[in-house]
Structure 1
Amino acid sequence: MPPMKDARLGASTFFASALPHDICGSNGLPLTPNSIKILGRFQILKTVSHPRLCRYVDISRGKHERLIVVAEHYERSLEDFQRAGKPVSQDKVLQVAYEILEGLEFMNKHGMMHRALAPRNVLMDCRGNVKLAKFGLYHMTNHGADVDFPIGYPSYLAPEVIAKGPSRPSDCSHGELPRPSGPKVDVWSLGILLFELCVVSWLITPEYQFELPENVLTLLRKCLTFQPSRRPTPSELLKDPALQEVSHLYTPFRKPVSLFSSSLRCAYLELPEDISELCQDEGEEYLAERSIEEVYHLWCLAGGDLEKELTNKEIIQSKPPICTLPNFLLEDGECFGQGRDRSFLLDDTTITLSLCQLKNRLKDVTGEAYYPLLDDEQSSLPQSNSSSELSAAVALPLVIRERDTEYQLLRIVLFDRLLQAYPYKKNQVWKEARVDIPPLLRGLTWAALLGIEGDIQAKYDGIDKDTPIPTDRQIEVDIPRCHQYDELLSSPQGHMKFRRVLKAWVVSHPDLVYWQGLDSLCAPFLYLNFNNEALAYACMSAFIPKYLYNFFLKDNSHVIQEYLTVFSQMIAFHDPELSNHLNEIGFIPDLYAIPWFLTMFTHVFPLHKIFHLWDTLLLGNSSFPFCIGVAILQQLRDRLLANGFNECILLFSDLPEIDIERCVRESINLFCWTPKSATYRQHAQPPKVAGDNNGFGKTPSYYSSDYQDLPKTDLSREPLKLSELKAESSPRISAEDLIDLCELSGSGHCKAPTKKTKSSKPKILAVDIRSSEDFSRGHIPGSINIPYSTAFGPDGELVQCPATSTLQSFRGRVIVIVSHAVMRAATFAAHLVKVNYPRVCILDGGINKMKFTGLLTVPSPQI
């Protein structure tokens, strides 16, 4: 994104045509409001970036089909130049012509025409270069079909446009769209505009001294050719000899290389001969070095209000409700009322948004904060005069941090630099994402966390998204029901992009099928990358195998059942009381959790909550969703424990409000208390290629990667049949997990836990339920012995004895049941769960797995 420099933020407003309320579409649903259609079409304009075009920044939808457009703006225009009454040189005329044609040619390559070309829309920057404004109005309004006013100024419209007459929105209600204008209509407008420049010079110059050069006359004749078939296009007109004389003054425009491509982003990097030119002057305005999108985002955070700004300038004028009624109908049928409200016509006034409030908010941010060092050893906390306040901001709730202007500026600057250095700075992106992710850069950050690399656009373009397939009908049915409260996703453009991305995924994964819920999974990626379908597809394609491996098989019952069984064990592991109650009333995960995991909670929560949830989800491995599920249940714990089966069904049919920040916080805590191998699934994603450490660097933390990714040894967990897995209420952990968690060394003694170990690994206790004789022949260091036969009474209650009293004192730790026979250990663990002991698990393979490790110890004989 280019820096803002001397540009300003400008806002203008107009109304979309209102649709009748009693008409539905062919699918039986109400017609999409024209303002929603315009909002969807507008989005592609934000990607159009060229030195001769004013960048579009944002569009806001208000009441009564009002739309407010924010775009790059400059105070001076060609209209001001004409009003000044100064003679225009031949070079200036050719310069204006060439620069306007450059912008028009670029628009034409993107399938767009200006149609509103006039002196007031030809802006001039501080260097006197042309910047075309309002060039997207014709495109976003569907060639004028969605508004009640004509696009363009009659004085500058081409003859063929005038001859065609105005198009009415009512003419388009039956699918009869107006035929769009071609590129040549802008050439006529350019001719009129250039002619006016020459006339100004003629009017203020003595007749005997004024003489229009032949090359300019030829250019005007070409532009003002009456027949469209003989009139050149902007691209053809640029080859005119008169314009070729000035073409050498301009460097050909190169489109910036995107973050995810096969091209070198530094291929055309140029540094000044004098490196000191890069140093900022003392009075430099650092905010001007940021992109216009960033500045607008910060302006909104600092209290910017578009409607208020337009109201203050009297562009928006409020009226009493009674004055907005169209007419009164009396009993005798006589009608009285007002005529057409002219405020619903186009007012092309653009107001400049004041940045004073934003600059005042950022006055304490020093220049160094705009250029953070990226050394891995540097503190991740931003530096400024108010660094103490920013350090405190990290501890504030995420919702508050996301609305803090100063904090967001520094996070955006940091992430922007890290992403520019991706994938070289991939590890540091992960590190900073653990703190939080700035919403403005969430889409690119998620892509980096998912490891997206390479030429994703070429891959996406190579997928056939047009040939009909059997899944098309189901996709068409699902899309109109997927997050349609969101204006962007409910627009026709949103539906079209949904279809293309979903179809690309189905076509490119022939071994998988489309299941309902895939559209919900697509929604967050499409929303964040609305103008980059290739990136939305790439993120979705990387996300599904990591968290939903084989969930979309034609027969996925074995995958789903294993997943739900492991989830049941996680509930029992973390909250045995809740698990016991749900099992007693028969409220099993099959009844409520399938939509949770099949859509990774996107079917359950609105998008703004999914963003915060997935910010953390993407930092965890494939077992993290289990912890999210348990955290949701724990928020509803009191209501679940107090109700029976029917009430629980009703509760989950309309899920109550969930505190998503608390859910994330508790999920992380549950995740840290869960041994890695406890969530082992044989149907999870196979191990990754050696060397892929999931972005955590050469020394990943204990929970950074999936258990399946670790090299398999004789001490690893063995796969179980689904029937055996369902028979056990507590999860199993592997022998290598037990050794790692107990910090056992080769000497057979427990190592003293370090500070790092305490913070990253759960506290664990091994409970050996073999007989005292077997225990004395060799046991795990630090374990306690509670013989199976002495622990429980005939009713299953825990017998009070010295050994069980010791167990009670360790309540809250991870308790690993060790025995000769795993089934016996499973029964013992089930008894502990029944009496509400949390964090109970079973050693997979029993004590036999430990015999050949040399880690078992024998107690010293009593003297």
Structure 2
Amino acid sequence: MFPLKDAEMGAFTFFASALPHDVCGSNGLPLTPNSIKILGRFQILKTITHPRLCQYVDISRGKHERLVVVAEHCERSLEDLLREGKPVSYSKVLCIAFEVLQGLQYMNKHGIVHRALSPHNIVLDQKGHVKLAKFGLYHMTAYGDDVDFPIGYPSYLAPEVIAQGIFKTSDHVPSEKPLPSGPKSDVWSLGIILFELCVGRKLFQSLDISERLKFLLTLDCVDDTIIVLAEEHGCLDIIKELPETVINLLKKCLTFHPSKRPTPEELMQDNVFSEVLPLYTPFIKPASLFSSSLRCADLTLPEDISQLCKDINNDYLAERSIEEVYYLWCLAGGDLEKELVNKEIIRSKPPICTLPNFLFEDGESFGQGRDRSSLLDDTTVTLSLCQLRNRLKDVGGEAFYPLLEDDQSNLPHSNSNNELSAAATLPLIIRERDTEYQLNRIVLFDRLLKAYPYKKNQIWKEARVDIPPLMRGLTWAALLGVEGAIHAKYDAIDKDTPIPTDRQIEVDIPRCHQYDELLSSPEGHAKFRRVLKAWVVSHPDLVYWQGLDSLCAPFLYLNFNNEALAYACMSAFIPKYLYNFFLKDNSHVIQEYLTVFSQMIAFHDPELSNHLNEIGFIPDLYAIPWFLTMFTHVFPLHKIFHLWDTLLLGNSSFPFCIGVAILQQLRDRLLANGFNECILLFSDLPEIDIERCVRESINLFCWTPKSATYRQHAQPPKPTSDSSGVRSSTPYFPTECPDPPKTDLSRESIPLNDLKSEVSPRISAEDLIDLCELTVTGHFKTPTKKTKSSKPKLLVVDIRNSEDFVRGHISGSINIPFSTAFTAEGELTQGPGTAMLQSFKGKVIVIVGNVAKHTAEFAAHLVKMKYPRICILDGGINKIKPTGLLTVPSPQI
């Protein structure tokens, strides 16, 4: 969006038509309210940006089908020029005409027709240039079908529009629905407006509405529309003084038959504008972040660099986009309905005044006065920015232009920087509602994203703190590494040819996050259908599983006007976190995933794991929807956003930790209940504190050795070299490493049945070496060593017999032989090793042996005794022997 500059924000309101409550659609579901339909269609209007159009910003849905639209606004309009009662110079009329045509032509390129063109909807900015207001009303209301008032003003309606009359869907069958107005109807409206400017007065003021409409229809019978209009209004002398070029322009605009009337694009090529045309440079829409065109292609610097700053003043807020300013206005306490109430646009009516005089038993009523609130009040209320500016008065200019490259250590720091640092420690929900904090975060992320992928590492770094909601969609795309010509790729996918999956998609969409107004709109359903179908068609080796729609929902919501980006994000997300989950036969992938999850429960919460296993409440009964949809099936969108903000910073094993964190929030209820009660509990999942869940997930992740969550069906590690020249992103969690290349010390794949038989997870030899901070000799390589403070303390328990232990063991390990470790009652045999083991309860304990069955049984015994963080060394002591790390105790002399 363009910067706010000298413009203001305005709001206007109207009601959508109410639907009957006892009627259902063809699918058996309740009819979608017209206000929801309008809200969905409105979204595309936010993407139509042009200097001659007032930028649409937002739409808000209120009670009783009320809608409030927020858009760019200017106080002056052509209405003010007409109030002066003086003819406007023909040169200015030509400029106004050309600028209006520029706006109309750009709208028409996007399939939009104004239909409500009038002097007060053609506003003037501070420099006197034209902007078209309310240009999307006809489009968003489905050509007037979803509202109870006509779109357009009687004096400016084209004859063909008047001839069609006003139709309502309830009055006729769909086949009789009239054709929507085309671009040429706006040309007629423009002609009437230009005529009024030329003569300095408004037309048809002495006629009532019916007479105006009749008069306009009779113009078909006259030879010269211009002369007839001039004679009717007593301004023939003024018209005769106009240059021939202006007369010809008016005649072309006011051609009665639309077939002979030019379109805005054709009219712009007319010779009448030959003198005006050189004054305007063609509009070039700035390239978006993920466009295939070069973003700096049209970027030019003046020869004198000081020229860049000549127009800059201290109003830094005006340099931000109108979307950002509105978002901050809302955070600073802005209330649309309150603004409209203060201007008496919204008036409350005592309920007693709405009672009917007569009421039948079947509910039909009579005697009510017509509710005029359903009619259009096109008054635009200016939204005052005083409160926002007052809130930001102490924010320095440097906050609007943060430095991304320079070393900050030598620069002076303002008090606001210290306040921001303090704000970063506050709970996320408070930070997201703090106006100053969000301003700083939005500006910073905006600049970083404009430098993507060059600033990819810094985006990751800042995303660790938090992600501003306004920038979440693009930030997620950056975190997922989306690059390239995503629009060309998406457009090349066939989304129209019927496929077998279409039926299932049609069934799933009306059940997916339909509490959300945007996703429940028909426009949202259509976009859902296209994105899901594009994914299915472009991944022939995978299939559509129920739940894929829920997975798509967050991306579609954040990128509602950019289906290509939603598709690209989804296509990058699934291989990372749900690799091969959508195979036709995915049972082996799901079973391995759930088995590793069971091991994670035992690793972090053995008491809960023991109880769930005893009652037979296995993850297969509740966790498949969690992981298949990455929790989007069980949480509402506002919780998913905060959860995924962190998920996208972790690797593919982080969802295990989220699952364990959810169980731990329900821990007391799970431990107190049996199988049936647990089934009922999860059939309607209780409220989960998502902020606590995120905090605990990170803590669990940091305690989990990275190889403990190894899966043979996970996505293979990517090559370490980055062809783009951009360094790989820094990991979020202190214990996370980039995927290492497979070595002789890495974990080996084992059959699924063997994995299921083990209660505790295995860890690799390289993980053990790294966690014990041992030095490897020879050709073995381990991941980069992390700082000591970032690692959990670890105890190695060697369960071989004492003779083998003496011959060689891992430095710092203790020996508790398996054969004598436990009593007949299942308790640990007391000894020096046992005391050490008990002192390490709560830390990571690695069981090492030379018989896999014994190590698994020993670990299972400890889990039964509620020892947390128990794991097994994959491959046993034999994996360590080639490294030369085994030590022999000094002989006793």
Q: Which SS does the other structure have where 1:184 is aligned? A: helix
Paired residue for 1:242? 272
**Distance in 2 (alpha carbons) for counterparts of 1:461 and 1:514:** 20
Deviations 1:254-274 (A, max 9, x none): 111110122211111122333
Aligned residue in 1 for 2:383:
353
User: 853, 875, 885: which is aligned to 1:823?
Assistant: 853
1:620 aligns with 2:650: yes
1:462 matches 2:496: no
Other-structure match for 1:125: 125
Asked if the contact 1:676–1:703 (Cα under 8 Å) also holds between the matched residues in 2, the reply is no
Q: 1:605, CA displacement in angstroms?
A: 0.2
For the residue of structure 2 that corresponds to 1:619, the secondary structure is coil
User: Which of 670, 676, 694 is the equivalent residue of 1:664?
Assistant: 694
Deviates more, 1:691-700 or 1:588-597: 691-700
Is 1:733 matched with 2:763? yes
Flag structure 2 segments of 5+ consecutive residues without an equivalent. 202-229, 779-783
The aligned counterpart of 2:26 is 26
C-alpha distance in structure 2 between counterparts of 1:707 and 1:384, whole Å: 36
Shift of the alpha carbon at 1:524?
Answer: 0.2
Native 8 Å contact 2:579 2:715 kept in 1: yes
Aligned pair in 2 of structure 1 residues 383, 697: CA closer, same or farther (>3 Å)? farther
- The equivalent of 1:402 in structure 2 is 432
1:142-182 CA distance string (max 9 Å, x none): 00000000000010000000111112242378575442001
1:784-803 to 2 correspondence within 5 Å? 784-803=814-833
Partners in 2 of 1:652 and 1:290 — Cα distance? 46
- Cα shift at 1:459: 0.4
**Separation in structure 1 between the aligned mates of residue 765 and residue 375 of structure 2, nearest angstrom:** 75
Structure 1 pair 701–540 and aligned structure 2 pair: CA distance change class (3 A): closer
1:50–1:756 CA distance, 2 compared to 1 (3 A): same
Q: Which of residues 839, 842, 848 is equivalent to 1:812?
A: 842
Q: SS of the residue aligned with 1:434?
A: helix
CA change 1:581–1:158 in 2 (3 A) is: same
Q: Is the 8 A contact 2:735 2:791 kept in 1?
A: no
2:768 counterpart of 1:745: no
Matching residue of 1:72: 72
Structure 2 residue aligned with 1:416: 446
- Assess if the C-alpha contact under 8 Å between 1:98 and 1:238 holds in 2: yes
Give the Cα–Cα distance (whole angstroms) in 2 for the partners of residues 572 and 173 of structure 1: 64
Match of 2:275, SS? helix
Which residue is equivalent to 1:274?
304
Deviates more, 1:796-805 or 1:556-565: 796-805
Q: CA 1:301 to 1:173, structure 2 compared with 1: closer, same or farther past 3 Å?
A: farther
Cα contact 2:798–2:816 (8 A) shared by 1: yes
Distance 1:593 1:359, change over 3 A: same
773, 776, 799: which one aligns with 1:769 = 799
Alpha carbons 1:571, 1:579 under 8 Å: kept: yes
Aligned to 2:705: 675
CA contact (8 A) 2:777 2:883 kept: no
Contact 1:833 1:840 in 2 (8 A): yes
Residues 549-628 of structure 1: matches in 2 within 5 Å?
Answer: 549-628=579-658
Partners of 1:757 and 1:693 in 2: how far apart?
A: 29
- Whole-Å Cα distance in 2 between the matches of residues 694 and 676 of structure 1? 27
Q: Counterpart of 1:372?
A: 402
Which moved further from structure 2: 524-533 or 777-786?
A: 777-786
Residue 107 of structure 1 aligns with which residue? 107
- In structure 2, relative to structure 1, the CA distance for the partners of 1:504 and 1:843 (3 Å cut) is same
Aligned partner of 1:59 in structure 2 is: 59
Q: Would the aligned equivalents of 1:157 and 1:189 in 2 still touch at CA under 8 Å?
A: yes
- Structure 2 counterpart of 1:683, one-letter code: H
RMSD: 2.5
Partner of 1:194: 194
| Residue of 730, 740, 747 corresponding to 1:710 | 740
Query: Which of 313, 321, 327 is the aligned partner of 1:297?
Result: 327
What letter corresponds to residue 64 of structure 1 in structure 2? Answer: H
SS of residue in 2 equivalent to 1:248: helix
Pair 1:487 & 2:517 matched: yes
**1:716 partner SS:** coil
What is the DSSP-based 3-state SS (H/G/I as helix, E as strand, rest coil) of the residue aligned with 1:230? coil
**Over residues 604-626 of structure 1, what are the superposed CA-to-partner deviations in whole Å (9 max), with x where a residue is unaligned?**
00000000000000000000000
Asked if residue 219 in structure 1 is aligned to residue 249 in structure 2, the reply is yes
Aligned counterparts of 2:790 and 2:665: Cα–Cα separation in 1:
25
2:281 matched residue in structure 1: 251
Aligned residues of 2:157 and 2:188 also touching (Cα < 8 A): yes
Cα drift, residue 338 of structure 1: 2.3
1:180 aligns with: 180
Matched residues, number: 858
Q: CA deviation at 1:386?
A: 2.9
Task: Give, in whole Å, the separation in 2 of the partners of 1:806 and 1:708.
Answer: 34
Residue in 1 that maps onto 2:542: 512
Tell me the CA shift for residue 336 of structure 1.
4.8
What amino acid is aligned across from residue 400 of structure 1 in structure 2? I
Say if 2:706 and 2:735, in contact at 8 Å, map to a contact too.
Answer: no
Structure 1 SS opposite 2:59: strand
Deviation at 1:337, TM superposition (A): 2.5
Give the C-alpha shift of residue 760 in structure 1: 3.0
Segment of structure 1 superposing worse, 562-571 or 258-267: 258-267
1:245 counterpart SS class:
coil
Deviations 1:317-373 (A, max 9, x none): 011223234553168999652221112100000010001111111111100110001
Q: Which residue of 2 aligns with 1:643?
A: 673
Aligned CA distance change for structure 1 residues 434 and 320 (closer, same or farther; 3 Å): same
1:674 CA displacement: 0.5
- Sequence identity (%): 80
Contact 1:150/1:167 (CA < 8 Å) preserved in 2?
A: no
Cross-structure match for 1:39: 39
Question: Does the 8 Å contact 1:612/1:660 carry over to 2?
Answer: yes
Out of 847-856 and 329-338, give the one that drifted further.
Answer: 329-338
Deviations 1:648-668 (A, max 9, x none): 000000000000000000000
Match of 1:751 in 2: none
1:46-98, CA deviations, whole angstroms, 9 ceiling, x for partnerless residues? 00001100000000000110000000000110111121234422211110010
Hey, what's the Cα distance between the residues in 2 that align with 1:340 and 1:419?
A: 53
Aligned residues of 1:620 and 1:705 also touching (Cα < 8 A):
no
Q: Distance in 2 between matches of 1:10 and 1:160?
A: 32
Residues of 1 paired with 2:725 and 2:29: CA distance?
45
Q: Give how far 1:821 is off.
A: 1.4
Distance in 1 (alpha carbons) for counterparts of 2:847 and 2:890: 23
Alignment gaps of 5+ in structure 1 = 749-753
Indicate the larger mover: 274-283 or 500-509: 274-283
Report the Cα distance in structure 2 between the residues aligned to 1:327 and 1:179, rounded to whole angstroms: 40
Counterpart amino acid of residue 417 in structure 2:
S
Partners of 1:524 and 1:336 in 2: CA distance:
47
TM-fit CA distance, 1:689: 2.9
Give secondary structure in 2 for the equivalent of 1:765. Answer: strand
Tell me the distance in 2 between the aligned counterparts of 1:103 and 1:705.
Answer: 55
Further displaced range: 245-254 or 471-480:
245-254
1:314 maps to amino acid: E
| Alpha carbons 1:87, 1:205 under 8 Å: kept | no
Equivalent residues of 2:246, 2:272 under 8 A apart: yes
Q: Deviations over 1:230-267 (max 9, x none)?
A: 00000100011011321111111111111012221111
Residues 298, 358 of structure 1: 8 Å contact kept: yes
Specify whether residues 173 and 662 from structure 1 end up closer, same or farther in structure 2 by C-alpha distance, changes over 3 A only. Answer: farther
Residue equivalent to 2:458: 428
**How many Å separate the matches in 1 of 2:848 and 2:73?**
72
TM-score, length-scaled by structure 1: 0.96
1:844 is the counterpart of 2:844: no
Deviates more, 1:435-444 or 1:326-335: 326-335
Deviation of the 1:690 alpha carbon: 3.1
